[in-house]
Structure 1
């Protein structure tokens, strides 16, 4: 009976952590969705984010078995800096109009940068989990599922809202990304 309670508690903890890590993907999704995005791109980007939410904590868990928690703050700062750069570029692009090339979320580089920016904190969480006994497969699958799900929800919400914002959608999305980047750094 006690073991079943512990397993339920551990599962609930992992789900809460997975949802919290997925919130980055949700906020990024809103920002990108505000810029305007096709359904096929939503599926591709969400899939890549889900995969990164599996790979990054897995790498973190293995690294956490050997490295101290010092790296956790560095990973969060890097994620914040990436979001600041992406958000700043989106704001700049929207203010310059068609003259400035927009960051292409459809390119392989764009997909990887977006996925990395929201999943790098999963690496630092993985480091912490690597210092404790955790079910590795269950943990990374939950993180991947919720990372992908939250990004789909954010992208769809941003896409729906962008229709009402028109040309200001990209600037609003940039402000959201920039704000989350600041929150990561501070």
Structure 2
């Protein structure tokens, strides 16, 4: 996988964490680097670990589905991207009720925002991607986006939440389409 594609994918995966971080930033009363780093690291760890788990599961099935792998990648990324777009269009009133200081809440949010990375990890096994490097980049981008989201949420409120999730969904669909077209043309 090309580095630019991996970076775009990492950014797309980080959009859920970014959107949740913006909402979580609304709960912060002041800039607190320790709290913001703790939340961002938690999101990054889960987001980086999920592709590894998906990749591990996928390597067991790769030989059996290699003739159709590009269609599976396309379908999974379009499904995840479509869900992100759908979620962005819906109103999430409950998203404004986040207790940002609860470890249980942060871990729950980290798991919820990283489920799509599990499916992406499965597609990585089909594309023979370097999982360690990819997981690192995904985790790093998630940390950056989460910290930025907390900062934006603290300063600007929830103005951007739905737009960011929508853009992330579009990016995932675009990457899935690129994988399909590249495979079909080669």
TM-score, normalised via structure 1 length = 0.66
Gap regions ≥5 residues in structure 2: 66-71, 170-186
Gap regions ≥5 residues in structure 1: 1-8, 92-101, 163-171
Structure exhibiting the larger radius of gyration computed from Cα positions: 1
Q: Is the 8 A contact 1:42 1:155 kept in 2?
A: yes
Q: Does 1:42 align with 2:36?
A: yes
Matches within 5 A, 1:71-82: 72=76, 76=80
**Aligned-partner SS, 1:131:** helix
Distance 1:72 1:106 in 2: 33
Number of residue pairs matched? Answer: 154
- Cross-structure match for 1:17: 9
- Cross-structure match for 2:94: 89
Distance 1:180 1:144 in 2: 18
Q: Is the 8 A contact 1:27 1:176 kept in 2?
A: yes
Distance 1:52 1:59 in 2: 10
Q: Is the 8 A contact 1:36 1:159 kept in 2?
A: yes
Assess, with a 3 A threshold, how the Cα gap between structure 1 residues 82 and 110 changes in structure 2: closer, same or farther: farther
> Residue 102 of structure 2 is aligned with which of 101, 104, 107?
107
Q: Does 1:56 align with 2:50?
A: yes
Q: Is the 8 A contact 2:27 2:100 kept in 1?
A: no
Q: Is the 8 A contact 2:52 2:118 kept in 1?
A: yes
C-alpha offsets along residues 19-48 of structure 1, whole Å, 9 cap, x if unaligned? Answer: 111122211111111232552221111000
Shift of 1:156: 0.5
Structure 1 or 2: more helix by fraction: 1
TM-score, normalised via structure 2 length = 0.66
Shift of 1:83: 9.3
Q: CA RMSD in A?
A: 3.5
Matches within 5 A, 1:1-186: 10-36=2-28, 38-39=31-32, 40-66=34-60, 69=72, 72=76, 76=80, 87-91=92-96, 102-162=97-157, 172=158, 176=161, 180=165
